[in-house]
Structure 1
Amino acid sequence: MSQPVRLRFKPNSNSLNLDDLKILSNYCSYSYIENWLICALNWRTEARDKICRAIQYGSKYLSNGEPGTAQNVDKATSLARKVFRLFKFVNDLHALISPTPQGTPFPIVALGKSKNALMSTFLFLDQFVWLQRTGIYKNKEGAELIGKVSLYCWMAGSTCTSLIEVAELGRLSASMKKIEKKLNNTDKYQNQEYLLKLKKANDSTLALVKAVMDLGVAAGLLQLAPNKLTPRVVGGLGFLSSLISCYQLLPSPPKTKTP
């Protein structure tokens, strides 16, 4: 009887173990190894981007727009994050052209595709801002205009995300009420289907809070309400949003086995 494959690689480790790749090559096809590497590297890039984002907006909160060390850290991490997001627009572009699950209401499908298109545009245009800041793209005025358009796309994409999560919460709430009626007087927290819906509702609530915060950050960066959305407010919203993003990247806790 063959022994199970035991890997020493962990998603939050700092280096890939070559021995693990050898083990994988013996038990898996090359396509499986390729997908595994892509997922691992993508997870690391995403995690580093969110950590840098927390540092960036935390520094913005501390600086409150005033010159100094905190503002320098804000600008430096902002530029560094753009490297992690190079060609990241392909992810949303792929989601845009991918088919949606059957049974999804059309309004949610339309909002989801709009969100993918807007976020893909935002990430694509943001690359020109990076090119200008690094000196490759010389047109400063053009880069500033592109930067504003990209931020508007991000704000619109965050709005779509908020609407999607609100609609999803409504669907989950209706499903949970139906389950409660079926259970009558039994403990609903012992029902696996109810717990699954509850977890999805909690995840959607967290995603909604994050989307609203991102909406405020985008509006603040565009200076749509400079008196209310000050650099400190924008920094605080961005920092909290980054913490939520880091939390969402954490692996799910292992399921407890029922006797």
Structure 2
Amino acid sequence: MEGEEKKKKKRDFLLHLEAYLAKRDGVDKLLKISRYAAKLLLSSGYVLGNADLAPRLKAFESSVGLSRKAFRLGKFVQDLNALRSSAPDQILPFIAYGGEGIYYFVEQFVWLCKAGLISPRHSKRLQKISAWAELVGYAGSVAMKIEELKKIQLKLRSSREAEELRGLREKMLVKRLSIVQDLADALMAIGDVRDGRGVLSGPFVVASAGLLSALISARKNWSSC
């Protein structure tokens, strides 16, 4: 085990980066960081007075958002497979994977609307369905991860081996970060459901939540590849 850890630490950075960028999620999260960093700059007000930079940042943010939708084509299949492998009597995986699967499926049609193949008049309705499905999925995901976190905590109390304790603590950290990420994404989904109305749906809050979610997800993907 120690040999594997040393090997992981000595891993060449460029080879690690290549493995990270070869994954769809790896590229998607870099795009997400770029998009919400741009949205954060725009919402902060520092660039709004710049007649040259502000329009370019808005165009960049919009373009990256459209690219991410295209990049996630077919991603709903992973949720279908997750549902198939879940126990039929468990409701939380059904809510989590079902909601997320519907979200990714509908998002394909949102992309087609924005790309011009489907009439734009359907865009708002599709986006509303997508946002509600995403919110339901995150609610199920958070509840499911809290249950998993409780199981890890029970194992942590009963474990005595130092190596196993380190592994369980790392799992607990990853799970907690994943819950924070889901809550941040859920906050953005609430903003979409409410059409940007309310204090928690303001541009700065949504941009901050999006950037936080992207950074956590990028960290998880980097560690896993």
Q: Which residue of 2 aligns with 1:141?
A: 121
Consecutive aligned runs of 4 or more in structure 1 exceeding 6 Å deviation:
none
Q: Residues 59 and 203 (structure 1 numbering): CA distance in 2 closer, same or farther, change over 3 Å?
A: same
Aligned counterparts, 1:97-136, within 5 A: 97-100=84-87, 109-136=90-117
| 2:28/2:71 contact within 8 Å kept | yes
Q: Which residue of 1 aligns with 2:67?
A: 80
Rg larger in structure = 1
Q: Which residue of 2 aligns with 1:12?
A: 17
Q: Which has the higher helix share?
A: 2
Of residues 226, 244, 252, the one that matches 2:198 is: 226
Q: Which residue of 2 aligns with 1:68?
A: 55
Q: Residues 61 and 41 (structure 1 numbering): CA distance in 2 closer, same or farther, change over 3 Å?
A: closer
What is the CA distance between 1:113 and its match in structure 2? 2.5
Distance 1:172 1:221 in 2: 34
> In the alignment, does 2:195 pair up with 1:215?
no
Of residues 140, 145, 149, the one that matches 1:169 is: 149
Which runs of 5 or more structure 1 residues have no equivalent in the other structure? 1-7, 14-39, 101-105, 184-189, 254-259
> In the alignment, does 2:149 pair up with 1:157?
no
Distance 1:216 1:76 in 2: 22
Of residues 49, 60, 81, the one that matches 1:94 is: 81
Distance 1:51 1:215 in 2: 20
Question: 1:205-228: per-residue Cα shift (whole Å, max 9, x none)?
Answer: 111111111111111233364333
| Number of aligned residue pairs | 204
What is the CA distance between 1:150 and its match in structure 2? 0.6
What is the CA distance between 1:41 and its match in structure 2? 9.6
| 1:221/1:234 contact within 8 Å kept | no
Instruction: Report the AA paired with residue 241 of structure 1.
Output: S
Which runs of 5 or more structure 2 residues have no equivalent in the other structure? 1-11, 49-53
Distance 2:60 2:117 in 1: 22
| 1:11/1:43 contact within 8 Å kept | no
Of residues 244, 249, 254, the one that matches 2:216 is: 244
What is the CA distance between 1:132 and its match in structure 2? 0.8
| 1:86/1:127 contact within 8 Å kept | yes
Q: Secondary structure at the match of 1:86?
A: coil
**TM-score, with normalisation over the residues of structure 1?**
0.71
| 1:12/1:44 contact within 8 Å kept | no
What is the CA distance between 1:252 and its match in structure 2? 4.9
What is the CA distance between 1:88 and its match in structure 2? 1.0
Distance 2:70 2:222 in 1: 22
Distance 1:142 1:52 in 2: 26
Distance 1:71 1:193 in 2: 48
What is the CA distance between 1:193 and its match in structure 2? 2.1
Distance 1:152 1:43 in 2: 31
Question: 1:22-73: per-residue Cα shift (whole Å, max 9, x none)?
Answer: xxxxxxxxxxxxxxxxxx7995221111111111111111112966222222
Distance 2:97 2:200 in 1: 29
Distance 1:145 1:42 in 2: 34
CA RMSD of aligned residues (A): 2.6
